[in-house]
Amino acid sequence: MKILIIDNTGQISASLAEVEAEFDCLANEIQAFNILERLRPELVFLRYALRGEQTPDYIRLVANALPAASVIVVGEQTSEEGVLQCLLSGAKGFQELQDLRYYSFRLVQAVSRGEAWVSRRVVASLLDSVRQLMLENSYLKVH
């Protein structure tokens, strides 16, 4: 498996030390995007702090450039709304940085099988968001 890590601190790569994979690590998200198609990673770990509130926009760019890659956002005390926006933009999961070391192996396995990696609470919020979008769309069609 090929993994691209986009992180300017080195903390994500240190947390993934037990995962057996081919790693490319870049500190600059613009450079990473520019070589994304050449690297063709299956999994992209993205540090939320690099783009902050612009992270969902970056995820959409990555998803459009390389639809087969799964993006996992790694954050520190990221708001639930921030996590939801990342997931709605195409991320396949979110993990708090302080717990990444403990979950890294299972996270990589789950996402490799096509599963999402999010907490149950985030899944509930995501379902509420989808339901709200559906209600808004059905309201627009009726009126």
Mind listing the pLDDT tens digit of every residue in the chain (143 residues)?
999 999 999 999 999 988 999 999 999 999 999 999 899 999 999 999 999 999 999 999 999 999 999 999 999 989 989 999 999 999 999 999 999 999 999 999 999 999 999 988 888 988 888 888 888 877 656 55
Question: Looking at the domain assignment, is residue 98 inside a domain?
Answer: yes
pLDDT at 136: 82
Question: Which tokens is 101 given?
Answer: 């070391």
pLDDT at 141: 62
The CATH number of the domain holding residue 97 is 3.40.50.2300
What is the CA angle 3-50-114, rounded to 5? 35
Q: Which domain holds residue 78?
A: 2-118
User: Alpha carbon of 80 to those of 19, 27, 54, 87: distances in Å?
Assistant: 27, 25, 15, 11
Phi, psi of 21 (to 5 degrees): -165, 170
pLDDT at 113: 94
pLDDT at 131: 86
Question: Looking at the domain assignment, is residue 33 inside a domain?
Answer: yes
Question: Looking at the domain assignment, is residue 137 inside a domain?
Answer: no
Question: Looking at the domain assignment, is residue 77 inside a domain?
Answer: yes
- H or E segment to which residue 140 belongs: helix 120-142
Question: Looking at the domain assignment, is residue 90 inside a domain?
Answer: yes
Question: Looking at the domain assignment, is residue 123 inside a domain?
Answer: no
Question: Which tokens is 99 given?
Answer: 């717990």
Question: Looking at the domain assignment, is residue 114 inside a domain?
Answer: yes
CB 2 within 8 Å of CB 42: yes
pLDDT at 130: 82
β-strand 22-26 against 2-6: which pairing, if any? parallel
> What is the pTM (predicted TM-score) of this model?
0.89
pLDDT at 23: 94
Question: Looking at the domain assignment, is residue 130 inside a domain?
Answer: no
Query: What total number of domains does the chain contain?
Result: 1
